[in-house]
Structure 1
Amino acid sequence: MTLPAMRYKLAPYGEAMVGKGAFSIVFKATEEGSGRQVAVKKSRVSRTVKRPTLRHEIRVLQFLKGHPAIPAVYGYGKLEHFEYMAMELLGPSIAEQKKDGAGVMVKTVIRVVDQALAALEHIHSLGIVHRDIKPENFLCAIDDASTIKIIDLGISKPFSHGQPSKYDPLKARRHIVGSLYWASLNSHNGVDLAPRDDIESLAFIALFLLRGSLPWKPRPHLESLVHSQEIVRLMKLGCPGPILSTGFPNEFGELLTYSRSLEFGQLPDHGAVRSSFAGLTEIMGYSPNSGPLDWTPCYLKSTNPILDEPEVSIPDEDDEDGDSGDDLGEDSYYGMDLDMWERQGERDKDVTLPAKLEAELDSITPLIIEVQDN
């Protein structure tokens, strides 16, 4: 079967951009022919790159489709200078719904956690670990703002069995996997990530929503990478679940404790954890999961614990140069917006699906042949 080629026209300037990441920008666009409103994710990539990130991401989304939390995908194309992915247009993230400095109502956090656990159960059951669980990657559906969908699977990968690989982020001067604020302790320690780490990051999200903040703060922009990572690692190490959940139902702290108790190859019991939160809903007299999510801000009198920032000394810190080691060849784009884009390199070789599966998924993905700018 030959799939139709897809063309998209971006929304007018000022309305078009709906999101931005380290290596990509997401635009609102209209699908030619159907008139369907979609999100087009655009990433600048050298022509020399054989394994671009968006191609992997759309394969993973196609592989995971069929669950309410997985957004629909409509097409992929690698055109000159850029690659594009067209997918379901979604609403604001839970990060955008939360007010700065304020917490979120317990009943809302329970519903977010329940939906996230259902999504992760589906993802993990198919042998995939997300590896970048954070509030910005949970978005509300356009047609039902009470439905949460999960995005940004560009660094997702099949999880390993047997003994995990390990490296020392300090000695290697390497960025940990995932986002610094939300990454698990295993990520900070350079241990290969597994489903348990997605659950730990989800626990951080739940506690952040309840408390309004976490003890470790976003790091100064000019602070060295390894210095930031070590400070945050030590602060997370000093924050067990019962401490972070003080003043809130125990189930939230227990989620963090549970995630850290799992072995590398052990699948979380997502159903049991969801049942514990369902029981909490009943105990607190909340209605079952129905109606819109309530994002009314809650301002707490105290956000214990307050931790002193640890003093960290990194040997030979001045030698850190941040060189990724990628040889991307001559730059392939000379447009006026060159300074807007980080040039995407080859994704890690372990961030891939089996070759046969990749070929099958490519065969069911319509090809994008044109994206027009206004």
Structure 2
Amino acid sequence: MDKALKAIQDLHSFNLLHQDIKLENFAMSLESPDEVILIDFGIAANVEKNGICPRGQFGTPSFSARDALGKEPERQHYKSDIESWFYCLIYAANDGYLEWAGERDIAALLKAKKAAWKNQTKFLMGLPVQFLEIMNAINLFKRERRPNYEKIYALLKQVMNVS
């Protein structure tokens, strides 16, 4: 998942927000099997200098960030893509399980995600402790700055060294 995060970081370096981060939108490079490529830029949009994406939308609801599902999707920023990536990480580490998977009602989905971020320990039960640290790091990201990708890479490396 670190290579998927790198693909997102590369996209963000062009001041773009993907807005539909999910496992299906990552592919392995044919030229370099160690490289992961981000695909499907159908709803990608520019990020302004203040860090906000005025053309905010949401893609796949189960993986969409809370701010994307809320009343002001145009307030999305880099953190939104990272939150979506985090749901992919949990999904992959949890044998394809997210507690809100299958929920179709956007309001109920948003409520479930807000509850997960409020009760992080319960949400991450059975997963590496570093996931809690990643979740906390994501929560601290500021809209006007790019995320601290290096902190997340370091935490992912810890998970890999423990496994």
- TM-score normalised by L of structure 2: 0.83
Is residue 116 of structure 1 aligned with residue 7 of structure 2? Answer: no
Specify the alignment match of 1:230 in structure 2. 107
SS of the residue 2:131 aligns to: helix
Q: Runs of 5+ in structure 1 lacking a partner?
A: 1-112, 167-174, 221-227, 287-374
| Inter-partner Cα distance in structure 2 for 1:267 and 1:118 | 13
Is residue 270 of structure 1 aligned with residue 135 of structure 2? Answer: no
SS of the residue 2:37 aligns to: strand
For residues 106-138 of structure 1, the C-alpha deviation after alignment (integer angstroms, 9 at most, x for no partner) is xxxxxxx21012112211122111111001101
| CA RMSD between the two structures | 2.4
| Inter-partner Cα distance in structure 1 for 2:77 and 2:111 | 21
Is residue 135 of structure 1 aligned with residue 12 of structure 2? Answer: no
| Inter-partner Cα distance in structure 2 for 1:125 and 1:176 | 20
% identity of equivalent residues: 19
Is residue 203 of structure 1 aligned with residue 86 of structure 2? Answer: yes
Specify the alignment match of 2:61 in structure 1. 180
Which of the two has greater helix per residue? 2
CA contact (8 A) 1:197 1:259 kept: no
CA contact (8 A) 1:180 1:229 kept: yes
Higher relative contact order, chain-length normalized (CA < 8 Å, sep 6+): 1
CA contact (8 A) 1:188 1:233 kept: yes
**How many residues align structurally?**
157
Deviation at 1:199, TM superposition (A): 0.5
Which of these residues, 24, 44, 48, is aligned with residue 160 of structure 1? 48
Which of these residues, 274, 279, 284, is aligned with residue 158 of structure 2? 279
Larger radius of gyration: 1
Specify the alignment match of 1:217 in structure 2. 101
CA contact (8 A) 1:129 1:158 kept: yes
Q: What one-letter code is carried by the residue in structure 1 that aligns with 2:99?
A: P
SS of the residue 1:238 aligns to: helix
| Inter-partner Cα distance in structure 1 for 2:93 and 2:14 | 30
Deviation at 1:144, TM superposition (A): 5.8
| Inter-partner Cα distance in structure 2 for 1:131 and 1:161 | 18
Within-5 A mapping of 1:197-346: 197-212=80-95, 213-219=97-103, 228-240=105-117, 241-282=120-161, 284=162
Q: What one-letter code is carried by the residue in structure 1 that aligns with 2:93?
A: L
For residues 154-183 of structure 1, the C-alpha deviation after alignment (integer angstroms, 9 at most, x for no partner) is 2112212338588xxxxxxxx952211111
Which of the two has greater strand per residue? 1
Deviation at 1:202, TM superposition (A): 0.6
Evaluate the alpha carbon distance shift between residue 176 and residue 235 of structure 1 in structure 2; reply closer, same or farther with a 3 A threshold.
Answer: farther
Q: Runs of 5+ in structure 2 lacking a partner?
A: none
Deviation at 1:193, TM superposition (A): 1.5
